[in-house]
Amino acid sequence: MKSIVFGRWGEVLRDCRTEEQAGEEREESGLPSPKSFPDNVAAIMSGKGLLQFAREFNFIPMIREYVAQIQSHYCCGKCITGIKGSKMILMTLDRMMAGQGQTSDLEVLERMADILNDAAKCSVCQSAGELLKDCLTHFRQDFLAAIASGISPGAVRYLGNISAPCMNTCPCHINIPGYVEMLQELRYEESLAIIREEMPLPGVTGRICPAPCEKACSVANMGDVAIPIKTLKRVAADYEMIHHLNPPLARVTLSGPPVAVIGAGPAGISAAFYLNRLGHPVTIFEALPQSGGMVEVGIPPYRQPREVLDREMGIICDLGVTLKTGLKLGRELTIPELFDRGFKAVFLGVGSHKSIPLGIPGEDEGIKGVFLGGIDFLRDINLGSEVEIGDNVVIVGGGNTAIDCARTCRRLGAGQVSIVYRRTESEMPADPEEVDDAREEGIQLHFLTQPLGVLSEDGKMVGLKCMRMELGEPDWSGRRRPVPVEGSEFDLEADTLIPAIGQTSNLDFISPGDGIDITRRGTIKVDPTTMMTTLAGVFAAGDAVSGPLTVVHALAGGKRAAKMINKYLECGECILTDQDWMSDLIASIEKDLGVLVTARTPSREGGTVAHTKRDVQERITNFLEVDSGFTQRSSFLEAGRCLRCFHLVLAAVEDTGSRSTVGR
Ligand SMILES: Cc1cc2nc3c(=O)[nH]c(=O)nc-3n(C[C@H](O)[C@H](O)[C@H](O)COP(=O)(O)OP(=O)(O)OC[C@H]3O[C@@H](n4cnc5c(N)ncnc54)[C@H](O)[C@@H]3O)c2cc1C
Ligand code: SF4
Ligand code: SF4
């Protein structure tokens, strides 16, 4: 645990610079000592305040660096207060550090701090004013000492990352305020370029990402409707697609060591894309005849049209990534063979493709109408196989897969489609919007209902024996456990059953002697920092590591693994880039000390512009995309509501030792 020597964090002040203060403050300040920070962090400055960990620390060179980084990288250049004010502060601090300052400079700095804090247009420069004020108030002696005899910059290294509540929450850490601002200026291609720096499937995620970023948006946290970050991303991606523009992505010379990627789902695609950008020849080996993973064979086309994924995959292949389909690790390929063929590292992005059975009688007895699992059902349909369903379908489960199966059955012509779920609607993991869409399409939802067995006659399904449940005490997940209501059994008429209660990874290609450990949850074990498995040179990410999650999580894992593979091949060690090290630190700050920044100014009123959706009666007859997203005008209005509430997080780091992790 790191002890705070001095801290101003939001409204909370903790001053332990003397032993006496330490005793009094530690208990009372309400600012807990962070648990998960690296040992070599001497101090932190951010929009929320400043924290000092090293007992001897001078904040003057740090505030100088903070203002300098804002000046050179992050000032939006739209208000004179920000441009000129930060420049003046910088010049004054430089003079002071060189021993040429005067006492009157303190007054100048005070005034400049107030002006920036009160009048700068956005939170980036406002935070510099507030932090300078902190330094002048609590470390005045250091300024006087600098005026008297100057100070050296010190032995620490400064690492800075731009941050915003939305950016921190997006697993790919996309510069959201940056791309939203570009949309407001109608600079669609630049907006897309910002997105692609951190994530290679903007058209896909712009449609189906659950958008955790929007839940963290400051506008939402001030009581208004969040900036529609996801749909705005789709506007940028669709602009390029509709106008048949070539993405501004140059081919790079692929002279690095070659890497094999197993699985062409989001994790594999992302690893391949970023390895390509780093100069590695990459071959993706995919078991199925098509690329895209669950985005292609799971998520139905009425939510994620295939041409969007095909185009984004095509862009990646045009950059020089080789895709080989119909080749399965464990069937046509083995890991040792891949190394023998000259690949210097292997990335495993094999996802979760094995349905979890319900464990009820009749499920696996070859009864007509009983399907193996939701993902198998959707895969067969999405790969164009003939799939026969009855007129009265029951689906078991409460996640997106269950909803997707139900809406797909409706489109395949089933007259009655029901979903059986053992908890209540509020515990349902499915996206609430998807649940609403399903209801609109006439799908019935039976909550607090547990299936007990398949009812059949002459080898054909005729119904599902069920029983009512009620909610009991919370289980390990914090959700209230469903418990059976005695004597409540009933029969639900149905001729088709699709179990969709979850999936696990098929890791048959790993044998006990391979050196790749599997967790008790049946996922591939990796070092979470480096994404390396227990076998040197083999990395993994995505659903096969985390368990079934989301596209954006898989993309983030693949990107991180790509950077680690690059370092591993370059210098024999998995060393985090400064940017990733800072991202991890920011995550630790949020975990230990709460949300890093809150916006101060309210957003322009206006609420959200409604999406248009295809008419229900029409949409249940086909697989065409339901949601039409925003028009350019709507996106302009929506983007204008963003508060651009990003800020700089700057860490003073005493050495770089702990950034290096696993060796070859
Ligand atoms: C029905 C459904 C709906 C979903 N809806 C959403 C949604 O709306 N939003 C969202 O964000 N997420 C959604 N998800 C989750 C999301 O699709 C996954 O989290 C994501 O695709 C995981 O990416 P991945 O690359 O880890 O694995 P996958 O996408 O599963 O890709 C793995 C790839 O590896 C291949 N593979 C497996 N084994 C081998 C092998 N031995 N050799 C070669 N290739 C192999 C597979 O064929 C597959 O192509 C949904 C999932 C499902 C099933
Ligand atoms: S207002 Fe804009 S910058 Fe702030 S959290 Fe929301 S989207 Fe991000
Ligand atoms: S990828 Fe998802 S989480 Fe990230 S910015 Fe886009 S919508 Fe938000």
3-state secondary structure labels for all residues of 589-643: HHHHHCCCCCCCCCCCCCCCCCCCECCHHHHCCCCCCCECCCCHHHHHHHHCCCC
User: Tokens 């910002």 map to which residue?
Assistant: 194
| CA-based nearest residue to 623, from 302, 315, 366 | 302
Instruction: Quick: pLDDT tens for 302-333.
Output: 999 999 999 999 999 999 999 999 999 999 99
Please tell me the distance from the alpha carbon of residue 387 to that of residue 473, in angstroms, as a whole number: 41
Query: Rounded to the nearest 10 degrees, what angle do helices 80-97 and 123-138 cross at?
Result: 30
Instruction: Quick: pLDDT tens for 372-411.
Output: 999 999 999 999 999 999 999 999 999 999 999 999 999 9
Q: Which ligand is nearest to the CA of 174?
A: 3
Using CB distances shorter than 6 Å, the residues near ligand 2 are 164-166, 176-177, 180, 217-219, 227, 229, 599, 642-646
pLDDT at 155: 82
- Kindly state the average pLDDT of the residues 494-515: 94
Q: Is residue 580 part of a domain?
A: no
Query: 452 C-alpha to center of ligand 1: Å?
Result: 29
Among 46-50, 119-123, 554-558, which is the least confidently predicted range?
119-123
Query: 328 C-alpha to center of ligand 2: Å?
Result: 43
User: Does residue 234 have a pLDDT over 50?
Assistant: yes
Q: What is the CATH number of the domain that holds 23?
A: 1.20.1440.230
Query: 49 C-alpha to center of ligand 2: Å?
Result: 19
Please tell me the distance from the alpha carbon of residue 191 to that of residue 179, in angstroms, as a whole number: 4
pLDDT at 601: 60
Helices (H), 400-510: 400-411, 432-440
Please tell me the distance from the alpha carbon of residue 595 to that of residue 222, in angstroms, as a whole number: 14
Residue 289 CA: distances (Å) to CA of 149, 364, 548 = 72, 27, 22
Ligand 3 atom closest to residue 205's alpha carbon, by position in its atom list: 1
- Kindly state the average pLDDT of the residues 556-567: 97
Instruction: Quick: pLDDT tens for 153-206.
Output: 778 999 999 889 999 999 999 999 999 999 999 999 999 999 999 999 999 999
Query: 541 C-alpha to center of ligand 1: Å?
Result: 11
User: Does residue 657 have a pLDDT over 60?
Assistant: no
Q: Is 375 in the pocket of ligand 1 (CB under 6 A)?
A: yes
User: Does residue 656 have a pLDDT over 60?
Assistant: no
- Say whether both 120 and 56 belong to one domain: yes
What is the identity of the amino acid at 40?
N
Q: Is 266 in the pocket of ligand 1 (CB under 6 A)?
A: yes
- Say whether both 70 and 144 belong to one domain: yes
Q: Which residue would you say has higher pLDDT here, 22 or 117?
A: 117
The preferred substitution site among 645, 647, 648 for testing ligand 2, maximizing ligand atoms within 8 Å of CB, is 645
- Say whether both 156 and 15 belong to one domain: yes
CA angle, 14 as apex, 8 and 20 as ends, to 5°?
150
Q: Which ligand is nearest to the CA of 553?
A: 1
Helix (H, G, I), strand (E, B) or coil at 382: helix
Q: What is the CATH number of the domain that holds 530?
A: 3.50.50.60
Q: Is 211 in the pocket of ligand 1 (CB under 6 A)?
A: no
Query: What is the pairing mode between strands 322-325 and 282-286?
Result: parallel
Instruction: Quick: pLDDT tens for 523-535.
Output: 999 999 999 999 9
- Say whether both 324 and 191 belong to one domain: no
- Say whether both 147 and 10 belong to one domain: yes
Query: 202 C-alpha to center of ligand 3: Å?
Result: 9
Atom 5 in ligand 2: residue holding the nearest Cα: 217
CA angle, 384 as apex, 382 and 390 as ends, to 5°?
85
Please tell me the distance from the alpha carbon of residue 454 to that of residue 205, in angstroms, as a whole number: 38
The pTM score is 0.92
Residue 576 CA: distances (Å) to CA of 8, 95, 567, 617, 664 = 29, 35, 8, 52, 15
Ligand 3 atom closest to residue 176's alpha carbon, by position in its atom list: 5
Q: Which ligand is nearest to the CA of 348?
A: 1
Domain that holds residue 48: 6-164+647-663
Q: Is residue 599 part of a domain?
A: no
What DSSP letter does each residue of 553-570 carry, written as one string? HHHHHHHHHHHHHHHHHH
Q: Is residue 461 part of a domain?
A: yes
Q: Which residue would you say has higher pLDDT here, 514 or 544?
A: 544
Q: Is residue 589 part of a domain?
A: no
pLDDT at 127: 85
- Say whether both 416 and 486 belong to one domain: yes
Bridge partners of 162?
648
Mean pLDDT, the chain, whole residue set:
91
- Say whether both 80 and 182 belong to one domain: no
Query: 201 C-alpha to center of ligand 2: Å?
Result: 21
E strands, 104-189, where?
157-163
Query: 213 C-alpha to center of ligand 2: Å?
Result: 9
The preferred substitution site among 166, 552, 627, 646 for testing ligand 3, maximizing ligand atoms within 8 Å of CB, is 552
Query: 290 C-alpha to center of ligand 3: Å?
Result: 25
Tokens found for residue 401? 């897969």
Q: How far is CA 10 from the centre of its chain?
A: 26
Q: Is residue 597 part of a domain?
A: no
User: Does residue 651 have a pLDDT over 90?
Assistant: yes
- Say whether both 364 and 497 belong to one domain: yes
Tokens found for residue 635? 């996106």
The DSSP call for residue 227 is P
pLDDT at 453: 97
Among 168-177, 220-229, 428-437, 445-454, which is the least confidently predicted range?
220-229
Which of the listed residues 482, 504, 526 is the one where a domain comes to its end? 504
Q: What percent of the chain has pLDDT over 70?
A: 92
User: Does residue 444 have a pLDDT over 90?
Assistant: yes
| CA-based nearest residue to 543, from 254, 350, 268, 382 | 350
Q: Are 59 and 43 in contact (CB under 8 A)?
A: yes
Tokens found for residue 110? 């005070």
- Say whether both 396 and 489 belong to one domain: yes
Ligand 3 atom closest to residue 214's alpha carbon, by position in its atom list: 8
Q: What are phi and psi of 541, to 5 degrees?
A: -165, 180
User: Does residue 29 have a pLDDT over 80?
Assistant: no
Q: Is residue 592 part of a domain?
A: no
Query: 209 C-alpha to center of ligand 3: Å?
Result: 6
Q: What are phi and psi of 644, to 5 degrees?
A: 50, 50
The preferred substitution site among 126, 222, 643, 644 for testing ligand 2, maximizing ligand atoms within 8 Å of CB, is 643
Using CB distances shorter than 6 Å, the residues near ligand 3 are 170, 172, 174, 176, 199, 205, 209, 211-213, 229-230, 233, 552
Helices (H), 7-119: 19-28, 59-69, 80-97, 104-119
- Say whether both 43 and 17 belong to one domain: yes
pLDDT at 660: 45
| CA-based nearest residue to 228, from 215, 242, 241 | 215
Q: What is the dihedral of CA 537, 543, 547, 553, to 10 degrees?
A: 100
The count of structural domains within the chain is 4
Q: Are 70 and 126 in contact (CB under 8 A)?
A: no
Residue 598 CA: distances (Å) to CA of 71, 73, 217, 226, 644 = 22, 21, 9, 14, 11
Q: Which residue would you say has higher pLDDT here, 228 or 595?
A: 228
Label residue 491 by pLDDT band (50, 70, 90).
very high
- Kindly state the average pLDDT of the residues 34-51: 88
- Kindly state the average pLDDT of the residues 37-55: 91
Q: Which ligand is nearest to the CA of 264?
A: 1
Q: Are 405 and 418 in contact (CB under 8 A)?
A: no
Q: What percent of the chain has pLDDT over 90?
A: 72
Q: Is 263 in the pocket of ligand 1 (CB under 6 A)?
A: yes
Helices (H), 426-482: 432-440
Tokens found for residue 443? 């799908």
Which of the listed residues 558, 575, 592 is the one where a domain comes to its end? 575
Q: Is 151 in the pocket of ligand 1 (CB under 6 A)?
A: no
Ligand 1 atom closest to residue 331's alpha carbon, by position in its atom list: 41
- Say whether both 409 and 483 belong to one domain: yes
Atom 8 in ligand 2: residue holding the nearest Cα: 166
